Amino acid sequence: MQSFERQRRAAKAGAGKVVRKVRKRLAVSQEALSRLLSTTKGAVQHWERGRNYPDLARLLALRRFCPPGPERRELDKLLERVQVQVAPVGLSKRENLARLILDPRRGAPAEWLEQRKYRRDHKRLERQLERLKRRVSEGAERMKALESLVDELRRKLQPSNSAAPRALG
């Protein structure tokens, strides 16, 4: 039991350094990384300072953005350590990591984050579309009202135009 606690603390301690290295490798700010991972800037700050550590889904998402190199190897090691805590019994660490990263039937957590982002964007676009439809229908109603006013003005002007030539003739 004591070794499990040591592993957990080691995973926590290393996570901040790895996240910072990967962020620097990607050359993005904490805020930009938070947008990529669908989290807050404060969460990224806490990870880098070691106050908290990212969950497995966010680490997997970070792995997708990280190009091959020493930072990615460190991230893979961190993923293995973190995964030991949540791994199903009977699989080796490598098999379990590969299954989470590569198996589309299981729905990797990184994909869940993307799907959530797409759903949120889709809902936002649907709301915008509804607003535009309302504006178009309001505009159509205004056009009808203006057309009726134009017709009424034409009717009022027409008798006076036709009466003027008759008086002259």
Q: Which residue has the higher pLDDT, 133 or 96?
A: 133
- Please count the CA atoms within 13 angstroms of the CA of 100 that sit on its side-chain side: 26
The span from the CA of 85 to the CA of 122, in Å, is 35
For residues 96 and 26, membership in a common domain is answered with yes
Would you state the structure tokens that stand for residue 12, as one six-digit string? 């926590």
Which pLDDT value is given to residue 119?
85
Contacts of 104 (CB under 8 A, 6+ apart): 111
Would you state the structure tokens that stand for residue 137, as one six-digit string? 């229908």
* Domain span holding position 32: 2-107
Q: How many domains does the chain have?
A: 2
The span from the CA of 122 to the CA of 21, in Å, is 33
For residues 6 and 63, membership in a common domain is answered with yes
For residues 85 and 141, membership in a common domain is answered with no
Residue 1's pLDDT band, with cuts at 50, 70 and 90, is very low
For residues 95 and 141, membership in a common domain is answered with no
For residues 11 and 91, membership in a common domain is answered with yes
Convert the pLDDT of each residue in 21-61 to its tens digit. Answer: 999 998 999 999 999 888 999 999 999 998 888 888 888 88
